[in-house]
Amino acid sequence: MLRIAELPVPQVGVNDVLVRVLAAGVGKPDILVRTGRYAWMPRFPAVIGIESAGIVERVGADVRGIAPGDAVYVNARDLPERSGGYAEYRVAPAHAAHLLPSGCDFVQAAALGNYQVAECLLRMAGGFPPARSVAVFGAAGGVGSAALQLAAARKWQVVAVASSSDRCDFAMRQGASWAIDSSQCDVPEAILDCTGGRGVDLILDIASGDALPRLFKALAPMGVIVSYGFLEGEPATATVPAMRREFGSSPGWRLFSMHSLDRQPMLRKEVTSAVIVAFAQGHIRPAIHARYPLQEVQAAHVAFERGGLHGKIVLALGA
């Protein structure tokens, strides 16, 4: 369903910037758009792609603070339509072009969307008492590895949960304090072992399904599980009874979607700025599983859907 096409260079409005895209991230929303299952579908035919990084080529007459030659990150979550990333040139309102550090790695910058999600997930931890530990499921994936790095930068204890020994090794290189191979052990018990029986303040759950109820025993008092994906299906009906069995520890459970920030642009801007500062200061270093030229976009999607990733897949258009 994906094909390369020659299109005119987009026109720039008075409040817009024209970006020459050097790298674009490949993520789950792109797969959902391609297969017609995304809740925020663009109008077809569409240049798909959510996240990209590149160089400003031209600015509109009323744009201030951004100039040709500036490095910028653009995420379609800031745009009226979720599209435009897989293009050599894209237009965005100036407010949606986030300045990047000079001389940055554009392939790594194209992965910052995962860090936006991960930063929000870490902020979901309750502040009573302040969080100081987290268990990250899917720790070798794009969002998982981002969460490991951001949590390590906070000086938190980080338990990585991954599905194989090599993925655990990868997670340790991303900043995990411990890594648990979920194919070899009882994960909640292993989390308790890692933390001396205390449990963790925050669990980032991408799977849910039948596994969710057992995770509450791995929470520290006042701890919270944040579910941001349902790879194994809807949360089991036993979830609330499992919470009640840990009633004395006041466990919490909540859902998170990045789209909850669609009507809170200032909060999303704050999160994006925090991630770019961490990138500029070297506190995070996006892990790239593979880079593909734009002409091999179909192969990039196949690789993403195959799974087993160590970090992010990126399309390199010129970086």
pLDDT confidence of residue 186: 96
Using CB atoms within 10 Å of the CB of residue 270, give its burial: 0 to 12 exposed, 13 to 18 middle, 19+ buried: middle
Q: What's the whole-number mean pLDDT along residues 300-306? A: 96
At 209, is the pLDDT very low, low, confident or very high (cuts 50, 70, 90)? confident
The answer on pLDDT for 297 being more than 80 is yes
The answer on pLDDT for 49 being more than 90 is yes
Q: Report percent pLDDT > 90 for the chain.
A: 89
The answer on pLDDT for 318 being more than 80 is yes
Q: What's the whole-number mean pLDDT along residues 189-206? A: 97
DSSP state of 87: S
Q: What's the whole-number mean pLDDT along residues 257-269? A: 93
pLDDT digits (tens, 9 = 90+) for 129-152: 999 999 999 999 999 999 999 999
SS3 state of residue 234: coil
pLDDT confidence of residue 44: 87
Domains parsed from the chain with CATH numbers: 16-111+286-316 (3.90.180.10), 114-259 (3.40.50.720)
Query: In b/e form, how buried is each residue of 77-91, taking b as 16+ CB within 10 angstroms?
Result: bbbeebbbbbbbbbb
Query: For residue 21, which phi and psi values (nearest 5 degrees)?
Result: -75, 130
Q: What angle is formed at CA 35 by the lines to CA 33 and CA 36, rounded to 5 degrees?
A: 65
Query: What average pLDDT does the structure give for the chain?
Result: 95
Q: Are 19 and 98 in contact (CB under 8 A)?
A: no
Give the separation between CA 75 and CA 90, rounded to whole angstroms. Answer: 11
- 209 to each of 125, 214, 231, 237, how far by Cα in Å? 21, 11, 8, 9
The answer on pLDDT for 178 being more than 90 is yes
DSSP state of 291: E
Other beta carbons within 10 angstroms of residue 230's beta carbon come to: 15
